Structure 1
Amino acid sequence: MLTGILSHAGWAQSDPTGKRRVTETFAITNATIFASPGQQATKGSVLFRDGVILGIGANLSLPKEAQVIPGDSLFIYPGFIDGAGMAGVTKPKDPERPKDFVSSAPPDEIAGITPWRSVSDQFSLSASQVEDLRKAGFTMAQVLPDGGMIPGKASIMVLGSSGAVNVLVENSALAANFRGSRGMYPATAVGVMAKFRDVYQNTTLALNHSKLYASNGGVSRPEVTPTQAAMAAVVQKQIPVIFTAASDLEIRRAISLQKELGFKLILTGLEYYEPVIDLIKSSGTPVLVKLEIPDDKAIKANKAENATEATKAQYERVKEAYDKALKQAAQLEKAGIPFAFSTMDTKPSDALKAVQSMVKNGLSEKAALAALTTNPAQILGISRVAGTIEKGKMANLVISNDSIFKESAQIKHVVADGYVFDYEVKKKAAKENGKSENGAVKIEGVWEYTAETPAGSNGGEITFTKEGADYSGTITLDDPSGSGKINTPIRNVSLDGKTVTFEFDVNAGGNTLVVSISGEISGNSMEGTMSVAQFGSFPVKATLVTPSQTH
């Protein structure tokens, strides 16, 4: 198992299968429809053709050519919109430094100032990350370019067929951040502020000079640089600046720049908004909240009775930070600050889980759905075509087997630009040997597992035993030295609801590696991740083959 992990640093899943529309007209019938946030759910059908919604209601007359998708027991929501992400985006190559390079005054491109770049040139709809995003319910996304302090302009993409033109709005916003340049100016956040101010003001002067030249004789010809030409849309308030700010200090700096210069501003990237909520509200700035869940492994490990007092105290601080992070969206709602969601630096597969966790921590379901649909549509200026299920709007829909705010929810279909993508919904086992008579999950017994590493599938057995309230056990795995299978004890076994976590040590080349496994139990099956701090996380699956006969 670990032999493959040690020899490779990456792993990629195969793409789920999406279906291209077979006919031009579709009807999803007899489903529970949530047309917009806060609106009462209705039972009815949604009819669409060529990517446009033709009707919604209980008594729709369906044309003969319509391909019918039975929606009984299904829930339909407006397609989710990612306010800011980088799925499918590649980073352009860094330009070579010229021979006469001066670090105190580098060319804009060398310093990471490239507002003329469009992310459309760096985006691929066929990338696996885009399919993961669509599978999570996202039908549109504003994608940001990768690069320096001003990497370029964002675009709003429709996540439909790879054979179609999927750019809805090109150059929808300017991306900016406080990332300094290495070994040259601007190298610090303060330097970035000064440089941004300089670029903005020089663009203003260049535009004024151009106007004067166009209407008056005897004026010298203006020389507008590529940077100034590309920044014109920002100065003229045609597009906003999306500032990625990772701290409350950077938030203050971005708002300070906006107040001084007057451009339109959207904020994203912060984890804790509480210290700057009043400032954000008074400035009227919309926010894109990252859809991420803090790692709670340390919290679960706190339940281990053999943990020291110092360790438990550290875990309590982690838990406090964990709870605080999940309450941020609710605090923004309470303050009346408009916000949407961003998938930046997050896994799309965790999106629904993150929303559900935020709802559990005070965010209303109405606000959560708005942050996925109507809010990003309004912030991005595309409410005319997206955000709700209405006649005349784009056919962007999410169809799930349950309310998306329930843990049992799974997405069965996604309609993006009228193209229908089908996904597997896992059925609950009728009889679950992994549960006791009172319904509590049981893990005792022998499990056969496989771990998908870069070198292929590896596996062995995990044995859980229980004495009183404590769990222990062993795991078999491939010896990194290549001498066959080894058996090693597992520790810190914790069962929290349906989640089991544990750790074990492996000696590889004289170094001790700590391996952590976290899995969700469903009947006789377990799915989760195997994490090795030095090498990342890898998917693991297990099946209960010999349940314990003790009760």
Structure 2
Amino acid sequence: MKKNFLKAGFLGLLVSVVFAQSSLAQSDPSGKRRVTGTYAITNATLFSSPGQQGSKGTILIKDGVILGVGSGVQIPKEARVIAGDSLYVYPGFIDGAGNMGVTRPKDPERPKDMVSSNPPDEIAGITPWRSVTDQYSASASMVNDWRKAGFTISQVFPEGGMIPGKGAIMVLGDADGNNLIQLNSALSANFRGSRGMYPATAVGVMAKFREVYQNSSLALEHEKLFASTSGVKRPQITPTQSGMAAVIQKQIPVIFTTSNDLEVRRAISLQKELGFKLVLTGLENYEPVIDLIKSSNTPVLIKLEIPDDKAIKGQKEEGVTEATKAQYARVKEAYDKSLKQASLLEKAGIPFAFTTVDAKAGDAHKALKSMIENGLSEKAALAALTTNAASILGISRMAGTIEKGKMANFVLLTDTLFTENAQVKHVIADGYVFDFEVKKKAATNGKTENSGAIKVEGVWEYTSETPAGASGGELVIKKEGTGYSGTITYDDPAGTGKASSPIKNVTLSGSNMSFEFDVNAGGMSLTVTVTGEITGNTMDGSMSIAQFGSFPLSAKLASPSRNN
């Protein structure tokens, strides 16, 4: 190991970053401005697409775009490093037909002379010209909640009547930036009628949708004829007819929200009759219509939730009649069927993705786990979160996998996605890094989870490589009861030679070790985190501070026997 280190090393570099951050904060009150648009996630386990085995590698991104992926990626000096040694990276999750961050517009006032059998389109809830962007807020708490669950893109839809308007695809990036990926990405529709006016019933909605579609088609034909032929009367195109044009021209799909299998049949019947692109969502039990959906080649968006089991938990075992027991059995059967819906769609070969509507972000991982326990494969679950969702939304070119040239959208977890203890540590959306608190296991408070095969006691000599050069020092680790303690030396950021600090929160899990120590840099108290994997008498890992980046670290056990 090297004994002579450059003084402008890791901690010295942090001092300059601290001052740079302070300077930026003075000119940017929001505190959200990026110091650099270039990041490198190093030595992480990458799951670039569904079904692919995890492999160690580096991801380089700049200004929200992936510049390189793999083991041979060159890291530029300006890149901020995120140490991924103990992290698992997946493509950012994608939400279809969601409503996070969306508020419902005010209902328009009804005209005094309105005829209930023929109300104006806006009063009847027919507003295909409306865009969800008018009701969307990127700073809404729901947006942050779902981002924390790993979601980086959402196709949000407006609230309203039978045709409430068009959705937009948003990236869940900087709340103060332009997060729009695609405007007017799909038309939202449902079988919800209007109160006290036509169409008031599902059958009426079906007839009205057909009327709107056909009249809009005729209006478009008239418009084309007027543009190409002299002597044709000028067409009078209404906002509704103009708003339906992209659907009629098959540029965007209609995403129909259906609450039962009859509505599914009606939506597919309309699609076959009129010829528009169709996506189904909202149904909880697809089993009765699964063959119809498959034969019509219709993709599906299913809710990322599990049904409420209060009715199951509330069932009494004693003192109930046979009729009540039969009712209990029917409730339990319906509950069990609902848990298997995703696996049934997978087995039928129907492409499906998830929607966050009516779901809770905090229960997303639990819902996925429950679906997998009930027959859904992990490959299909990840596809529903990523590649299937990107395909259904029409954004596969830019999202859904970790590939060079695609958007820098990732979720970084402490374990593989579908394991019990996996936690989201970072989410990168549009190249912006969001950090989340990771709860430490009860056994990690200075105690070891190790079986004893890995020995860490002794004196380690370490080196940390940074764009400013190399620095290093000495790490002394001692066994204390069931845990570990020790000290670490480093180049004093003030430039006065070496300084030392006690290490804390030492954790040993298998061959992975982590600990923290505090440093005073420019009057600011900073906590440095060291993580590494031990192989024999060597350790490879990283030294990092949240928000300030990470740099590679290597160490060698020089004296296992020294005791202090």
TM range (shorter): 0.7 to 0.9
Asked if 1:368 corresponds to 2:381, the answer is: yes
3-state SS in 2 of match to 1:354: helix
Give the equivalent residue in structure 2 for 1:284. Answer: 297
Question: Judging changes above 3 Å, is the alpha-carbon distance between structure 1 residues 269 and 215 closer, same or farther for their aligned structure 2 residues?
Answer: same
Deviations 1:248-274 (A, max 9, x none): 000000000000000000000000001
Contact 1:374 1:383 in 2 (8 A): yes
Give the equivalent residue in structure 1 for 2:146. Answer: 133
Q: How far did 1:204 drift?
A: 0.7
**Of residues 316, 320, 326 in structure 2, which corresponds to 1:308?**
320
Within a 5 Å distance, the mapping from 1:102-501 to structure 2 comes to 102-302=115-315, 308=320, 313-430=326-443
> Residue 285 of structure 1 aligns to which amino acid in structure 2?
T
Q: How far did 1:319 drift?
A: 2.4
Q: How many residues align?
A: 415
Matches of 2:239 and 2:124, distance apart in 1: 14
Question: Judging changes above 3 Å, is the alpha-carbon distance between structure 1 residues 18 and 148 closer, same or farther for their aligned structure 2 residues?
Answer: farther
Deviations 1:53-85 (A, max 9, x none): 111112322111111111122110000000110
Matches of 1:406 and 1:337, distance apart in 2: 26
Deviations 1:148-185 (A, max 9, x none): 00000000000000121101000000000000000000
Deviations 1:80-99 (A, max 9, x none): 00011001001111110111
Matches of 1:97 and 1:307, distance apart in 2: 55
3-state SS in 2 of match to 1:409: coil
Asked if 1:73 corresponds to 2:86, the answer is: yes
Q: How far did 1:306 drift?
A: 5.2
Within a 5 Å distance, the mapping from 1:515-534 to structure 2 comes to none
Matches of 2:60 and 2:434, distance apart in 1: 16
Give the equivalent residue in structure 2 for 1:481. Answer: none
Q: How far did 1:332 drift?
A: 0.5
> Residue 308 of structure 1 aligns to which amino acid in structure 2?
V
Matches of 1:408 and 1:20, distance apart in 2: 32
Structure 1: tracts of 5 or more residues without a match: 1-16, 433-551
Deviations 1:134-156 (A, max 9, x none): 11110000001000000000000
Q: How far did 1:390 drift?
A: 0.5
> Residue 117 of structure 1 aligns to which amino acid in structure 2?
R
Q: Normalising to structure 1: TM-score of the pair?
A: 0.73
Q: How far did 1:316 drift?
A: 3.5
Question: Judging changes above 3 Å, is the alpha-carbon distance between structure 1 residues 316 and 429 closer, same or farther for their aligned structure 2 residues?
Answer: farther
Question: Judging changes above 3 Å, is the alpha-carbon distance between structure 1 residues 207 and 431 closer, same or farther for their aligned structure 2 residues?
Answer: closer
Which structure has the larger Rg?
A: 2
Q: How far did 1:192 drift?
A: 0.2
3-state SS in 1 of match to 2:153: strand
Matches of 2:206 and 2:317, distance apart in 1: 50
Q: How far did 1:51 drift?
A: 0.5
Q: How far did 1:308 drift?
A: 3.4
Q: What percent identity do the matched residue pairs reach?
A: 74
Matches of 2:433 and 2:332, distance apart in 1: 41
Structure 2: tracts of 5 or more residues without a match: 1-29, 446-564
Q: How far did 1:225 drift?
A: 0.6
> Residue 53 of structure 2 aligns to which amino acid in structure 1?
Q
Matches of 1:176 and 1:402, distance apart in 2: 39
Q: Normalising to structure 2: TM-score of the pair?
A: 0.72
**Of residues 19, 42, 63 in structure 1, which corresponds to 2:76?**
63
3-state SS in 2 of match to 1:363: coil
Q: How far did 1:277 drift?
A: 0.6
3-state SS in 2 of match to 1:22: coil
Q: How far did 1:207 drift?
A: 0.8
Contact 1:395 1:418 in 2 (8 A): yes
Matches of 1:245 and 1:270, distance apart in 2: 6
